Chains A and B, each alone.
Chain A
Amino acid sequence: MDIEDIHKNTKILIDGTPYNVDEAEFVKPGKGRAIYRLKLRNLVSGGVIDRTYHSSDTIEEVHISSQDEQFLYKEGDHYVFMDTETFEQEFIGEEHVGDKKNFLKEGTVVTVQRMGDRPLDITLPITVDLAVVKTELATKTATITSQDKKAVLETGYTIGVPTFIREGDIIKVDTRTGKYMERVVTKK
């Protein structure tokens, strides 16, 4: 596309890396060439850079798709998802899931952003409910409010929880902070 057609939130590709146009400023000396000053956010790393373009420069626009997919199971170093509209299965490599694996349990629906076939990012629900598979019994001296007791969740993630949490409880976790929020189900 021509630089003239750029606007805020256009997605462009520079050296194979996708960027979002966070800001586009048009400046032009009356008799001179148009200059476009862009603030670009790297869609893979999140880093922000400034770039200056001139009229008649061309840039590569990139289409980013976004769809809801349900996590089915893990197979080797791939995570298998199912498109909730087409029911097609999609394989996403471990490297794209990253730390989000800590909150990914079978059945969770996430939003997957792709550039062509290439997965860029996975957006988790803000909270997920996960079962505690291992934690120690509270000692009598522990205070009720502290969250310094360690618990291992069904995804393998280790989290700080209040002392009253026991193995088999289901707790709500904030996926943005990775912190315990509340107990959802108490083991009978």
Chain B
Amino acid sequence: MTEDERQRLIRIKPNLERRALIYQFIRDFFREQGFLEVETPIRAPAIAPELNITPFESENWFLAASPELHMKRLLAAGCERIFQLSHCFRKGERGRQHNPEFALLEWYRAKADYRRVIEDTEQLILTIARRLGPGSVIQYRGQSIDLSLPWHRITVRDAFLQAAGWDPLATLDPLRFDTDLVTKVIPSFNPSRPTVLLDYPAAMASLARLKPNDPRVAERAEIFISELELANVYSELTDKDEQEKRFRQEIEQIQREQGRQMPMPQSFLEAVANLPECGGIALGVDRLVMLFCNASSIDDVIAFTVDTA
């Protein structure tokens, strides 16, 4: 039975009010640390080519699937600490934790790596929890979650060896990796604590740099609380040639496997030459709001989803 729109909006109104508070606390957190709030195009001529992210096209341009490339162009021009709250679009992504249009929080720090950005995330989420009232222990879907620091860190290799019984650094199998991540590894995490999953196989580095003393892995991390994948963190790749090579391979694979044409993001590549050493992150704001509203569905924290727009 479909719920009447007015009843639905009245039901989720407390969540929308809490959502607004969370936005305010996020802005306060970054402003207090000297971050500049920026805005970048929602519609652009080129975006990062990614095999598993299908963008919406708009008059031969693309709707942003993330603000990452433009944020890095700002970093390359000397903006050392920046953050943005923006709407992003990914085709076909719809489920209990997905809406094709969603809110992303990205921030970048020059002269920092992924470790520092993970610490930012710990501080940010703990600060929001305290300012909302409950303190460092929150309730989510019948489970108490202790957000106090530091959060548990585990490498991808160790997590897979423990929960799935194989070494993803020794065997390159992206499909098996994604399936086991979802069905075995994430369910094995301690439900009462956040988990930081570190050091992805080099082939899954995307826009991250490889670990200087272990090039089998990339300095990439994902942050999980409960079953929510909240954020993806990188020590950003600052090598223009390496970035161009990875993009070229990705564009070829997308063309070969899916028949999609993706342009090379040239303006971004030119900026990478000037990109300082930096760390950055993309955090799913809708899921963060779900966590703090004890909501099991993204539909309970967005006024109008793709199904009710």
List B residues at the A interface (Cβ < 8 Å): 50, 52-53, 92-98, 174-175, 177-179, 181-183, 204, 206, 222, 229, 232, 257-258, 282, 284
Contact = CB atoms under 8 A, between A and B. Distances in A.
Contacts of B177: 32
A25 B96 contact: yes
Interface in A13-35: 25-35
Interface stretch (A48-56, A143-151, A165-173): A48-56
B93 A31 contact: no
B229 A29 contact: yes
Query: Which size bracket describes the interface of A in this complex?
Result: 10 to 19
Nearest to B206: A31
Nearest to A32: B178
Nearest to A4: B92
B175 A34 contact: no
A145 to B, nearest CB: 41
Interface of A: 4, 25-35, 52, 54-56
Contacts of A4: 92
A32 B181 CA distance: 10
7 contacts: A25-B95, A29-B182, A29-B222, A30-B282, A31-B204, A32-B177, A54-B178
A94 to B, nearest CB: 39
B95 A27 contact: yes
Given A31-B232, A34-B92, A56 B258 contact: yes
A105 to B, nearest CB: 36
Contact of A33 (B98, B174, B229, B282): B174
A34 B96 CA distance: 13
